[in-house]
Amino acid sequence: MKDRDVIENWLEKQLYANKEYLCYTSFNSYLREEFGIQYADTLQGCVQRYILLQWYYYQQMGYVCTTIQDLLSPSSLFSDLFKRLKGEEWTNDFVLELLQNLPFKGDFRPFILEEDRLYMHRYWDYERFIADWISRGTEFSTVYFEDAKRLYSQRDYEDWVREHFKELDEAKLSVLLHLFDTRLSIITGGPGTGKTYTLEKILRVCHHWFPNKRVYLAAPTGKAAKRMGQSISIDFKDIYGAPTTIHKMLEVQWDGIFRRTEKRKLSADLVIIDEASMVDIDLFYHMLKALKDDTQLVLLGDHHQLESVEAGSLLGDLCSIGAESTQLSLPYQVFELYRVYRQTESSHIPELAESIKMGNVDLVKHILKDVSKVDVNWIESNLNINSHVSLLHSWAEHDLSYLQDLKLGDSSIEVAQIESYKVLSPHRVGSFGCDTFNRIMDQRNRQLYPQKNLSLWYVGRPIIIQVNDPNTKLYNGDIGVCTAIDPDRITKLDDGEEDILVSRLPHYELAYALTIHKSQGSEFDHVLVILHPEDSLLHTRELLYTAVTRAKKSITILATEEQLKKAVSTRTNRRSGLIKKLTQKLI
């Protein structure tokens, strides 16, 4: 076999057909430069580069670490290259030895091996610190009830909670009764189970009994923070301040530097984070570093939803330990809310979501095929998107009608009577991606509402902001709608602030169709989920569950039977060592 340039040549050929290889081509070029061209093209150098390319693939997928076995199990992107390099002949010891002797320049050592797990050094540091912080939770007391206003014992507190929150179900009541028992608490549950409703009750308790307690409210994104604020009464926002992003709370600068650190900690006594499933390991680490030793942390989120865009699955890991570790004394609490309040009792959406969460393919298909369950539907997909243009046109017209009624309709029409429509997809680009759907739907509505000046804009045209822009007070995930033309103006849907000229908008895209990641934290009356008819790494149980639970009144899934089955049966399994580290500390 000719080893020289085998990887570089192979990547260049793949790149012609699939732009997904672009990042791997760049990473390989960096490795050749770092290793030195002469060494990089030897057989050993080629194998080491392949191993790191495979590691990079998993890093792109959000893994905190990879195992030797992961590196010996080629992903679909690299299976052909693995065979060319005769990877089936490699052993665990062979790969381990190569990883221990990576030829980076000077003293640069970006990786660390822990048992059979390969980490970037900083992720290993993050994970070790997080495990230490959580395991030390029992060393720090939380609330001394004797010092609380008008309160003399924990029994007095519990009696008061039961007396003043009789309307709560047992799960929510348990949150309030035991919230102050540990430094870390997790409140998890599916959409509509009342997580933010419970948040309001927590704030009521704090204000009544612990009026001097400094409470900070935050979320991973500006959109999530805004929705958190919408669920809290004005009185509590006046007392504790409006929720903000975690980045803003930690005073992150434009260059990524955190100003709130262990040397300049937050003054908060209690920090509550919403949409915690979206928090990655990097952000979680920096947040913990900025907390005082006795600061309580409460995480709210649905651990069955999609994980963070960046590395880690912290909420899922912590909840899984809580569910599976019957013999361990955990230094934190996990409260799971089960009862769904969002849909009516006749809705079959919770039933479908639960069957997806269980991974029961047969039950999912049975529910979707049951003609008596009119609010859950399944349409068999064709390979050509042109076969579904009429369906997209119909949803485009429904969505536009909703947006026009919402912003420009008769004032006598109540908002609650207007029904929203949204198309969701795992992909942003491609023939079955949001870019294509948005183009088809936008063209349809421009045909229905042509403009004399040939403007692309028409009243009701929706957009979604892609970046944070404090100058216009628009943030990543904000959705706006065109309310006037000549000049074209946009109004945000969720807070009705003043119009802004299109020319002043930061980067945006059309919003008839959204990626499922972008839809997290939002809900719509009617949702159309479109899965690509061909295999995709994004077709997972967590992704489909997240999409289905965006719907309040009806859900329609456009997918082949094969891809529906794959999505329901494939779990996201981001590798990390956090569970093992915590378990070892708690034994």
Q: How far apart are CA 517 and CA 217, in angstroms?
A: 22
Q: How far apart are CA 268 and CA 298, in angstroms?
A: 12
User: With contact defined as beta carbons under 8 Å apart, do 335 and 175 qualify?
Assistant: yes
Cis preceding linkage at 487, omega within 30: yes
pLDDT value of residue 287: 94
User: With contact defined as beta carbons under 8 Å apart, do 437 and 530 qualify?
Assistant: yes
- pTM: predicted TM-score of the whole model, two decimal places: 0.81
Beta strands in 211-361 (DSSP E): 215-219, 244-245, 270-273, 296-301, 332-337
Q: How far apart are CA 143 and CA 340, in angstroms?
A: 31
Q: What is the largest CA-CA distance in the chain?
A: 81
User: With contact defined as beta carbons under 8 Å apart, do 100 and 116 qualify?
Assistant: no
Q: Burial of 342 by CB count in 10 Å (0-12 exposed, 13-18 middle, 19+ buried)?
A: middle
- Tracing tokens 């009521």 back to the chain, one arrives at 204
Q: How far apart are CA 482 and CA 405, in angstroms?
A: 12
Structure tokens at 260: 């709130």
pLDDT value of residue 356: 93
| β partners of residue 114 | 117
For CA atoms 573, 576, 581, 582, the dihedral sign is: negative
- Per residue, the 3-state secondary structure of 128-161, as one string, reads HHHHHHHHHHHHCCCCCHHHCCCCCCHHHHHHHH
The amino acid occupying position 224 is A
Q: How far apart are CA 355 and CA 396, in angstroms?
A: 29
The amino acid occupying position 329 is S
pLDDT value of residue 412: 40
Q: Count CB atoms within 10 A of the CB of residue 454.
A: 6
User: With contact defined as beta carbons under 8 Å apart, do 406 and 415 qualify?
Assistant: yes
CA 18 to chain CA centroid, nearest Å:
26
Structure tokens at 181: 């028992």
Element (H, E) at 219: strand 215-219
- Tracing tokens 């792109």 back to the chain, one arrives at 60
3 backbone dihedrals φ, ψ, rounded to 5°: -85, -25
User: Which of 174, 208, 202, 211 has the alpha carbon at shortest distance from 272?
Assistant: 202
Q: How far apart are CA 223 and CA 225, in angstroms?
A: 5
CA 298 to chain CA centroid, nearest Å:
18
pLDDT value of residue 298: 93
| β partners of residue 112 | 119
The amino acid occupying position 399 is D
Q: How far apart are CA 110 and CA 116, in angstroms?
A: 16
Structure tokens at 49: 């580069």
pLDDT value of residue 545: 92
| β partners of residue 111 | 120
Structure tokens at 270: 């209690």
pLDDT value of residue 141: 55
pLDDT value of residue 149: 52
| C-alpha pair distances (Å), 462 with each of 372, 409, 430, 450 | 34, 16, 21, 16
Give the angle subtended at the CA of 160 by the CAs of 159 and 165, to the nearest 5°: 105
304 backbone dihedrals φ, ψ, rounded to 5°: -90, -10
Reading the chain (587 residues) residue by residue, the pLDDT tens digits are 444 478 888 988 888 877 778 889 999 999 999 888 888 888 898 999 999 999 998 888 888 899 888 888 888 788 889 998 888 899 988 988 888 888 888 777 888 888 888 888 899 999 999 999 998 876 765 555 555 555 567 788 888 888 888 888 888 889 888 888 888 999 998 877 888 888 989 999 888 888 888 999 999 887 788 888 888 888 888 888 889 889 889 988 777 788 888 899 999 999 999 989 889 999 999 999 999 988 999 999 888 887 777 777 888 888 887 655 555 678 888 898 887 666 556 788 888 998 998 899 999 999 999 888 888 999 988 888 888 999 999 988 888 887 777 665 544 444 444 568 899 999 888 888 899 999 999 999 888 887 766 678 888 888 888 877 777 777 777 788 887 777 777 776 665 556 778 888 888 899 899 999 888 878 888 999 999 888 777 888 989 999 999 898 899 999 999 999 999 998 877 888 888 888 877 77
| C-alpha pair distances (Å), 31 with each of 25, 48, 57, 274, 496 | 10, 9, 15, 39, 50
560 backbone dihedrals φ, ψ, rounded to 5°: -75, 160
| C-alpha pair distances (Å), 272 with each of 119, 176, 220, 585 | 30, 14, 11, 26
| β partners of residue 513 | 423
| β partners of residue 63 | none
For CA atoms 182, 188, 194, 200, the dihedral sign is: positive
Q: How far apart are CA 349 and CA 386, in angstroms?
A: 28
Contacts of the segment 381-384: beta carbons below 8 A, 24+ positions apart? 381/530, 381/531, 381/533, 381/558, 381/559, 381/560, 381/563, 382/533, 383/533, 383/534
Q: Which pairing describes strands 462-465 and 479-484: parallel, antiparallel, or unpaired?
A: antiparallel
User: With contact defined as beta carbons under 8 Å apart, do 578 and 127 qualify?
Assistant: yes
Q: Which pairing describes strands 376-380 and 551-559: parallel, antiparallel, or unpaired?
A: parallel
| C-alpha pair distances (Å), 562 with each of 135, 431, 467, 537, 570 | 43, 18, 36, 14, 12
